[in-house]
Amino acid sequence: MIFTGRGKERFLDAVTGFETAVRERDGERAQRLLQDMYGRFDKAAEHELVAAGPRLAALLPDMPVGPRALTAVAVGACVERGADATLCGPYVFDGLAAALGSAGEFCERWAATGGGDLPDPDSGDPEPAVLERAGRDATFGWWLLPRWEMATVSMLNRPSVRTALEPALRTGLLDALRAVQEASGDSFKCLHYALLVLDDEPLLALHRPTGTGYLLRMTGIGDTFQLHTLLADVLIGGGHIPGQAPSAQEAAVCRDAPGQVPTTGSFNLVTPGGEWVWNEGTPTDIPVVEGVRLLVLDPAPYKRGWPAGRFFPGMTGDLVLERVLGADETREWLGRCAPPK
């Protein structure tokens, strides 16, 4: 697309200039061109953004921490418009790992120097007193972590990135994030949940009132609210168990349709040990028993509603029924399960 601005320059012209400035370590020019790219983004053609994403991602290791985080957000925006996330993801995960390490150090230093509420990274540039108290690198790790969260979630919205993510890297990122969350409360929940998303994951659901069992497979489900609605759609809507099935729209927004619509819960989700599985959590809260996540469906103890939809609007999700268990097999599984607590 040709722009109507000065010189009718294209978005990719700004990208090319930015690449040159970064490689020549011309910080002032790189900063100016980065802002120029941001200003041109909304008018950029799709093919320009597809091309720009991997090129910008490849620059991340050579950039100072501030521009690096801003560029990572631009990479995420390119991925949301079609750039190849599998090419961009490794660079973003490297940057996230570094930011989490620095942010964890910031939290430690903050606690060691008197504690108190952590400063809000969205409140503008860090004050000199904060920099002096925690150190420049640690402070900027904390301050820039929300930008790395945005960029990383854009990568993890793509199933190809999630399935290619090495288990050791995922575990390391989660461990580093938990250290930050322990100091900062429920911050960075989107990043946490995105790193927990399961793909092609077997789920064994036992419906205790009817004594029936179902082997399902779930992919791209961001939270248990979404799973709950899809379970009701597949099992009640599929005619396998009694109850009020979600509408077609309620189920669609939990898979790939935009928006949210009101829905009502159909079950009480319970672990094999009898503990409740809260909708506010994620499917990783469901225990693994003999290689499969095992979930018991009991009658809902009270009526509860919520907006049906996806925790990650950019992530498609699905739950499919693979087979209905036989009566003996279901009885054996249910015999291992405690009543709800």
Residue 4: pLDDT band (50, 70, 90) is: very low
Same domain, 29 and 81: yes
The 10s digit of each residue's pLDDT in 10-26 is 899 999 999 999 999 99
- Please check whether residue 166 lies inside any domain of the structure: yes
- Please check whether residue 1 lies inside any domain of the structure: no
Residue 265: pLDDT band (50, 70, 90) is: very high
The 10s digit of each residue's pLDDT in 32-61 is 999 999 999 989 999 999 999 999 999 999
Same domain, 52 and 191: yes
Same domain, 192 and 278: no
Contact 270, 298 (CB under 8 A): yes
Provide the CA 101 distance to its chain's centre, in angstroms: 19
Same domain, 251 and 303: yes
201 closest CA partner among 152, 252, 250, 163: 163
For 176, phi then psi, to 5°, come to -65, -40
- Please check whether residue 151 lies inside any domain of the structure: yes
**Collapsed DSSP state (helix, strand, coil) of residue 43:** helix
**Mean predicted confidence (pLDDT) in 246-273:** 97
Can you give the pLDDT at residue 5? 38
Same domain, 21 and 86: yes
- Please check whether residue 136 lies inside any domain of the structure: yes
Same domain, 155 and 123: yes
Residue 123: pLDDT band (50, 70, 90) is: confident
Same domain, 169 and 223: no
Same domain, 247 and 316: yes
Sequence length of the chain is 341
Q: Is the pLDDT of residue 66 over 90?
A: yes
* Domain closes at, from 171, 196, 221: 196
Give the separation between CA 141 and CA 130, rounded to whole angstroms: 13
Give the separation between CA 87 and CA 321, rounded to whole angstroms: 33
Can you give the pLDDT at residue 122? 85
What burial class does residue 6 get, using C-beta atoms within 10 Å of its C-beta: 0-12 exposed, 13-18 middle, 19+ buried? exposed
Which of 38-42, 233-237, 244-248 is the least confident region?
38-42
Same domain, 180 and 40: yes
Per DSSP, the residues of 223-289 read SHHHHHHHHIIIIITTTSS-S-PPPHHHHHHTTT-SS-EEEE--EEEE-TTS-B--TTS-GGGSPEE
**Mean predicted confidence (pLDDT) in 125-143:** 94
- Please check whether residue 117 lies inside any domain of the structure: yes
**Mean predicted confidence (pLDDT) in 321-340:** 96
- Please check whether residue 73 lies inside any domain of the structure: yes
Residues in contact with 37: Cβ distance below 8 Å, sequence separation at least 6, in sequence order: 11, 14, 15, 18, 74
* Domain closes at, from 196, 226, 258: 196
Per DSSP, the residues of 80-103 read HTT--HHHHHHHHHHHHHHHHHHH
**Mean predicted confidence (pLDDT) in 169-189:** 94
* Domain closes at, from 168, 196, 224: 196
Provide the mean pLDDT of the chain.
94
- Please check whether residue 340 lies inside any domain of the structure: no
Range of the domain at 155: 6-196
The 10s digit of each residue's pLDDT in 272-300 is 999 999 999 999 999 999 999 999 999 99
Same domain, 264 and 120: no
Amino acid (1-letter code) at residue 30: A
Q: Percent of the chain at pLDDT above 90?
A: 91
Residue 126: pLDDT band (50, 70, 90) is: very high
**Mean predicted confidence (pLDDT) in 246-261:** 97
Residues in contact with 208: Cβ distance below 8 Å, sequence separation at least 6, in sequence order: 296, 297, 298, 334, 337
Total structural domains within the chain: 2
Contact 26, 66 (CB under 8 A): no
Contact 23, 62 (CB under 8 A): yes
Which of 41-45, 72-76, 88-92, 191-195 is the least confident region?
41-45
Same domain, 177 and 261: no
Can you give the pLDDT at residue 2? 30
**Mean predicted confidence (pLDDT) in 201-206:** 98
151 closest CA partner among 201, 96, 195: 96
Q: Is the pLDDT of residue 6 over 80?
A: no
Angle 169-161-225 (CA atoms, 0-180°, nearest 5)?
A: 95
- Please check whether residue 208 lies inside any domain of the structure: yes
Can you give the pLDDT at residue 34? 92
Can you give the pLDDT at residue 9? 54
Same domain, 167 and 238: no
Give the separation between CA 109 and CA 115, rounded to whole angstroms: 8
Query: Is pLDDT larger for residue 282 or for residue 340?
Result: 282
Contact 263, 244 (CB under 8 A): no
DSSP, res 313: T
State the sign of the Cα–Cα–Cα–Cα dihedral 322, 324, 329, 333: positive
